[in-house]
Amino acid sequence: MSPGKTILASKIAKKFADEIQAKAALLARRPKLVGILANPDPAAKQYADWTWKTSESLGFDYQLIQVEKEQLEDQIYKCNIDSSINGIMVYFPVYGDGQDRYLQQCVALEKDVEGLNFRYVSNMYHNIRYLDDTHQKKSILPCTPLAIVKILEYLGVYNPLLNYGDRLYGKTITVVNRSEIVGRPLAALLANDGATVYSVDINDIQTYERGHGLKLKKHDVFECDKSLKECALSSDVIITGVPNDSYKFPTEYVKRGAVVINFAFNKNFNDDVKEKASLYVPSIGKVTIAMLLRNLLRLIDNAPK
């Protein structure tokens, strides 16, 4: 039997949940998160129910608003100006195309718990960690990539003996997914922290490495001419997010002892991955929800007092 272990998201989330609950309890008013659901997919409803349950259990108010997709934009703008609401999230996909990206930008910067506003995303890509020059307001990181970073910290992939910002130095990580919501920001975040990242999508493989540009120290991107097999077998960590039931990452591409994380709702690994991986995290949803609430607390910190 392999010495590898499966680590559940609930266990990882617990640590953050305790921190979040303690912080929320110190606030004068219970923070309020609104989830807007304009998507009949039962998976979205289930995710909303989890968010609700977690929010309430940690001392947050949660309100689910269900609307027709044609009313979604108006609903977002209503929530933007409702001062009782601290944070807004929308359960995507709604239209499943460019219109969703437009709608993401409709959420007010000050209430964007998911960190999808262009300002936040652009700061993340440029490794800019504050919204203001005096460093009073922290920028918000997109919550799924942030959850994965926190999971990697928990699993010991980040080395705390190295300086902050260098803690993935020497690590090689393969990320299978290059969506704008998760895969590409994740590759950038990991590269910004010092890793060599192979970013894989259906068309090609790109290498993300931290650049040495001026003050930004943001990542650089190169075309990669290695095969997926070569990239994966040289990787300390493999992270997948392929939204497709029939997709399985080949177990023979996993290096013995690698850390393996799946962030898709679908199961991207066969069970035999446990015989190769040292640590296997089959899903991350609960950590993502914790990060939503953590971002909400940050938004409240950022708000004018």
Exactly one of 18, 132, 220, 245 binds a copy of itself (CB under 8 A); which one? Answer: 220
Catalytic-residue membership of 143: yes
Residue closer to a copy of itself, measured from CB, 49 or 220: 220
Gap between the Cα atoms of 79 and 88, Å rounded: 7
Gap between the Cα atoms of 143 and 216, Å rounded: 22
Exactly one of 30, 78, 101, 248 binds a copy of itself (CB under 8 A); which one? Answer: 101
β-pair partners for 174: 198, 238
Instruction: Report the C-alpha dihedral over residues 297, 290, 278, 169, rounded to 10 degrees.
Output: -20
Helix, strand, coil percentages in the chain from 3-state DSSP, rounded to 5: 40, 20, 45
Choose the stretch contacting a copy of itself; rule: CB under 8 A; options: 153-161, 166-174, 213-221, 227-235.
213-221
> Running DSSP on this structure, what letter comes out for residue 118?
H
Residue 18 CB, nearest distance to a copy of itself (Å)? 35
For residue 225, state whether it binds a copy of itself (rule: CB under 8 A): no
Q: Please classify residue 266 by burial: count the beta carbons closer than 10 Å to its beta carbon, then call 0-12 exposed, 13-18 middle and 19+ buried.
A: middle
Residue 207 CB, nearest distance to a copy of itself (Å)? 10
Question: Which one from 79, 106, 143, 231 is the annotated catalytic residue?
Answer: 143
Judged by CB under 8 A, the chain residues 160 through 199 that form the site for a copy of itself are 178-181, 184
For residue 132, state whether it binds a copy of itself (rule: CB under 8 A): no
For residue 133, state whether it binds a copy of itself (rule: CB under 8 A): no
β-pair partners for 205: 200
Exactly one of 56, 74, 252, 275 binds a copy of itself (CB under 8 A); which one? Answer: 74
For residue 41, state whether it binds a copy of itself (rule: CB under 8 A): no
Gap between the Cα atoms of 287 and 289, Å rounded: 5
Residue closer to a copy of itself, measured from CB, 146 or 260: 146
Gap between the Cα atoms of 128 and 280, Å rounded: 31
Residue closer to a copy of itself, measured from CB, 78 or 138: 78
For residue 223, state whether it binds a copy of itself (rule: CB under 8 A): yes
**Residue pointed to by tokens 């949803």:** 285
Whether 139 and 116 have beta carbons less than 8 Å apart is answered as no
For residue 118, state whether it binds a copy of itself (rule: CB under 8 A): yes
Exactly one of 1, 3, 81, 97 binds a copy of itself (CB under 8 A); which one? Answer: 97
Residue 101 CB, nearest distance to a copy of itself (Å)? 5
Distance of CA 282 to CAs 160, 195, 241, 270, Å?
25, 22, 11, 10
For residue 226, state whether it binds a copy of itself (rule: CB under 8 A): no
Q: Which residues bind a copy of itself (CB under 8 A)?
A: 70, 73-74, 97-99, 101-102, 105-106, 118, 121-122, 125, 178-181, 184, 213, 220-223
